[in-house]
Amino acid sequence: MIAVLKHELRIYFHSLTAYVFGAFLLAFVGIGSVLYNIQAAVSNFEFVLSFGSLIFVVIVPILTMRIISEERKQKTDQLLYSLPITTTEVIVGKFIALLTVYLIPLCIVCIYPLIFSKFGDVYLLTSYGSILAFFIMGSALIAVGIFISSLTENQGFAAGIGIAVILLNYYSVSLSEYVSSTAMGALVATCVIILVLGLVIRNLTKNSNLAYGFCILAVVGTMIAYLVDATKFEGLLPSIMAKLSLFERFNVIVNGVFDMTAIMYYITIIVLFLFLSVQSLEKRRYN
């Protein structure tokens, strides 16, 4: 795993990727600091992080698009399978390398609240709690980006899908206001989500019977639940969209409530998508 970590760090710091990532992140946080802390004379540095979280839509896909897709395109992923380490160690090594690249500019950001506290009252505990949540949320998005990169050989396609997914998650709460809250609308949306999950299972396992079985059982179970009590489906879809938003949970922390359920949610997302990335590589190894 250490060898994979060193290899990835060497690639990132011998190219422009790490520097472009850091520059974008620091520039956006700097703009937010000027708008909120300096121009508007607001002492809440956490508001800057809420503003800066939008940059994840661009920088995370840029950082993660090549992590596995380039290996697949150049056929160097075959070398990974020959290493005396497990696929899990390969994914974890790559993930830690990405976190290192992400953590360096974030360490510079950690100095900002101390600087601003010299010129006014800054809530340092809230600020650093928000920075910690900012790091964990970014880590979760990076894990999602790794999984997307593992599904394709095309870096541009991986970046495009990553931008779309993160952008959808960013605006999911706003979009939920325009989504049907009726029981029938929730039923249809649930069935569509089940079919999408079935496609993911089929792609990861190459087992059509497993995917079809999952879809049939899940759809039948959903239909039975709908027939038993349709009222439970009312408003279900907007509620799910709001609860799945990583950014909405971060905004709760920004507003002064350090929500441990949000931290556990981020950790769950990290573990889930790293696990899916491992399964994606394992499927290619066996093929």
Mean pLDDT over residues 217-246, rounded? Answer: 80
pTM of the model: 0.85
pLDDT confidence of residue 256: 76
Mean pLDDT over residues 229-238, rounded? Answer: 76
Mean pLDDT over residues 224-237, rounded? Answer: 78
Mean pLDDT over residues 7-29, rounded? Answer: 85
Q: Is residue 93 part of a domain?
A: yes
The half-sphere exposure of 273 on its side-chain side, counting CA atoms within 13 A, is 19
Reference 262, options 235, 236, 238, 242; nearest CA is 242
Q: Is residue 115 part of a domain?
A: yes
* Least confident residue range of 77-91, 139-153, 219-233: 77-91
Q: What is the domain count for the chain?
A: 1
Residue 156 belongs to domain spanning: 2-171+250-286
Q: Is residue 81 part of a domain?
A: yes
Within the chain, strands assigned E span none
Q: Is residue 245 part of a domain?
A: no
Reference 270, options 80, 99, 63; nearest CA is 99
Share of the chain above pLDDT 70, in %: 90
- Is the CA virtual torsion 104, 77, 142, 149 positive or negative? positive
Mean pLDDT over residues 164-180, rounded? Answer: 78
Using an 8 Å Cβ cutoff, are 241 and 175 in contact? yes
pLDDT band at 135 (very low <50, low <70, confident <90, very high): very high
Q: Is residue 177 part of a domain?
A: no
Q: Is the pLDDT of residue 287 over 60?
A: no
Q: Is the pLDDT of residue 142 over 90?
A: yes
pLDDT confidence of residue 153: 77
Q: Is residue 178 part of a domain?
A: no
- Alpha carbon dihedral 247, 249, 254, 259, in 10-degree steps, equals -150
Containing H/E element for 80? helix 77-82
Q: Is residue 236 part of a domain?
A: no
Reference 5, options 94, 91, 119; nearest CA is 94
Q: Is residue 197 part of a domain?
A: no
Q: Is the pLDDT of residue 12 over 90?
A: no
